[in-house]
Structure 1
Amino acid sequence: MFASLPAFLRVPLVCVVLLVNTLLHVLPLFALTLLRLAIPVAAIRRGIGAALVGIAESWLSVNGWLFDAFTRTRWQVEGLEGLGPRENYLVVCNHQSWVDIPALQKVFNRRIPFMRFFLKSELIWVPLLGPAWWALDFPFMKRHSRQQLEARPELRGKDREATRRACEKFRHLPVSVMNFTEGTRFTRAKHDAQGSPYTHLLRPKAGGVAFVIDAMGDAIRHMLDVTIVYPDGSGTMMDMIAGRIREIRVHVRRLPILPALRGDYEGDAAFRERFQAWVNDLWAEKDARITAMLAAPATSR
């Protein structure tokens, strides 16, 4: 609709509209959050929580429409059949760019329960969005360097405790728990520094996936194995807004979480070895899938 406008008009316009859309949704979200904090009745608090999710999904819907209206980005999405908002999911995905988050939100919004991400604690200070993520029960994780852990051994396991607390809350509401299993965005420098055995991926960190599966218990029965690629390069958020990302391809595979995938990752060495082998096999399949996705011909918009 607006994609044909010259860039010097289109980019500032979409930035302004994104800001206005955020304000229009965040302000009532904050008001309802204060109300939820003030009311001790559990049933009312749950109702307010559902209303908060509705506001967030509305915000994501408008953002998705804006990307369609202001860019010519082509979308190729496979594997959404059979998904629904009444079943909880663990969503596992490779991580290419900050664009991954709005791209996945656009693909999955209102098709599965609202996605929550594990966020770095520093992100709570992001203007508007940080408090909004907190209001929507996004768990914030404080990461510690190896030097910090060596100096203060009592910090070990804090992330696992935070994961368990967040998952305990998630057990009682419709949720999709999002996990970028590589732990960081892919770059060739990180790939080479790790000595990663994969062509397109960093080494996966199996522990986070195992902890979520164990902590959620029977409340989560399926995993969505998601692969995202950008045939012309992933780019930045500004590249997304400016329409410089020509195509985004997303492949979704629904897998059952079998009993063999539940166990004590930290305390059971045999289980940990089996689970790591399973995640490594998953990553090898994903690496081959990325090669095929990148080789596929471009789609029309």
Structure 2
Amino acid sequence: MLNFLPSPLVGLIAGTLLICNVMIWCSLLLIFALIKILIPVNTIRKWINPLLTKIAEAWIFGNSTWMKITQNTQWDVQGVEHLNYKGWYLVNANHQSWVDILVLQHVFNLKIPFLKFFLKQELIKVPVMGLCWWALDFPFMKRFSKDYLEKHPEMKGKDLETTRKACEKFQQMPTSVMNFLEGTRFTQSKHAKQQSTYQHLLKPKAGGIAFAINAMGDKFDSLLNVTIVYPDGIPTFMDFLLGKVKKIIVRVEKKPIPAHFSQHDYNNDPEFRAQFQQWTHELWLEKDQTIQNLLNGQPHQPLT
């Protein structure tokens, strides 16, 4: 709507609305988070948790609203028509920019359960947001390095046990868990350093998604394999605020997760690890081709 204005003014308005939206919903979220801390009673938490989710969804709706007001972005989205708001999903996407977070939240809000990210344990200490993530039951992962486990073998398996406990609450209400398989944002320098065999993607880090599947058991209904394409080039967050992102393409494919994946230990079963890596490699081959097709203006043709 306001994209006809000079881009600095668009960015100022968008940034102001973004900050106001954060202050309104984050403040409300923190109030109920404090109640959750001060009254650690299961019956209270069962009442508060759905309310916290509704607040978070309203926060995302607020983001979508200021985006609509300030941006003139053409959204080309396919694959979200038959998703279940009451399902359990593992969501995976290619990662290029912090804009990806807003894209995913905008596309999936109220179509699937609120997206939750597996976070490093250290992030719970982030001021304000750490408490918000805790209140929203984001699972915090405590991963141990190989060097640490060699010195402390008694801790082997404790990281998975901790994450499983964090995921137990997901049995109580539908959940979507978000994972970026590349583990970091794509850049040409990272691509060259990795010597990635994929044209548009970094090498997938299969361990993280295997860890999530193992921690959740067989609770996931399916994998939502998301491909995000910016036809005019990968934008920065500031590019987005300034209204410079003219088109965003999103393709969502619902794929089954092999049942036996939740029953094996990725770290300690070499045969399963090779099988799982092959599965992610095939996902990545198809995603790489999807990106190329979309950049060429061609329809997506799944690999056979």
Which residue number in structure 1 is paired with residue 45 of structure 2? 45
Which residue number in structure 1 is paired with residue 95 of structure 2? 95
Does the CA-based 8 Å contact 2:142-2:163 persist in structure 1?
Answer: no
The question of 1:207 aligning with 2:207 is answered: yes
Mapping of residues 1-301 of structure 1, within 5 Å: 1-121=1-121, 123-124=123-124, 126=126, 128-141=128-141, 149=148, 160-264=160-264, 265-296=266-297
Equivalenced residue count is 296
Cα separation, 1, equivalents of 2:15 and 2:186: 26
- 1:153 deviates by 5.6
- Say if 1:159 and 1:245 are closer, same or farther in 2 by CA, change over 3 A: farther
* TM-score of the pair, normalised by structure 1: 0.90
- 1:173 deviates by 2.3
Describe the superposition over 1:236-292 as per-residue Cα deviations: whole angstroms up to 9, x where unpaired.
111111111121111100012222433322232221111111111111111111101
Cα separation, 1, equivalents of 2:238 and 2:127: 18
Cα separation, 2, equivalents of 1:281 and 1:197: 12
**Runs of 5+ consecutive residues of structure 2 not aligned to the other structure:** 299-304
Cα separation, 2, equivalents of 1:243 and 1:143: 39
- 1:144 deviates by 7.2
* TM-score of the pair, normalised by structure 2: 0.89
RMSD: 2.3
Describe the superposition over 1:129-183 as per-residue Cα deviations: whole angstroms up to 9, x where unpaired.
333222212234467778x759966687665455333323323322100000111
- Say if 1:144 and 1:71 are closer, same or farther in 2 by CA, change over 3 A: farther
Q: Name the stretch that deviates more: 33-42 or 103-112.
A: 33-42
Q: Name the stretch that deviates more: 5-14 or 85-94.
A: 5-14
Describe the superposition over 1:204-255 as per-residue Cα deviations: whole angstroms up to 9, x where unpaired.
1111212222221232121101111111112211111111112111110001
SS in 2 for 1:33: helix
* Amino-acid identity (%): 48
Does the CA-based 8 Å contact 1:171-1:216 persist in structure 2?
Answer: no
Describe the superposition over 1:54-102 as per-residue Cα deviations: whole angstroms up to 9, x where unpaired.
0000010010111111011111111012102110100011111111111
Cα separation, 1, equivalents of 2:148 and 2:189: 25
Does the CA-based 8 Å contact 1:229-1:248 persist in structure 2?
Answer: yes
- Say if 1:283 and 1:66 are closer, same or farther in 2 by CA, change over 3 A: same
Does the CA-based 8 Å contact 1:168-1:215 persist in structure 2?
Answer: no
Q: Name the stretch that deviates more: 134-143 or 54-63.
A: 134-143
Cα separation, 1, equivalents of 2:142 and 2:41: 31
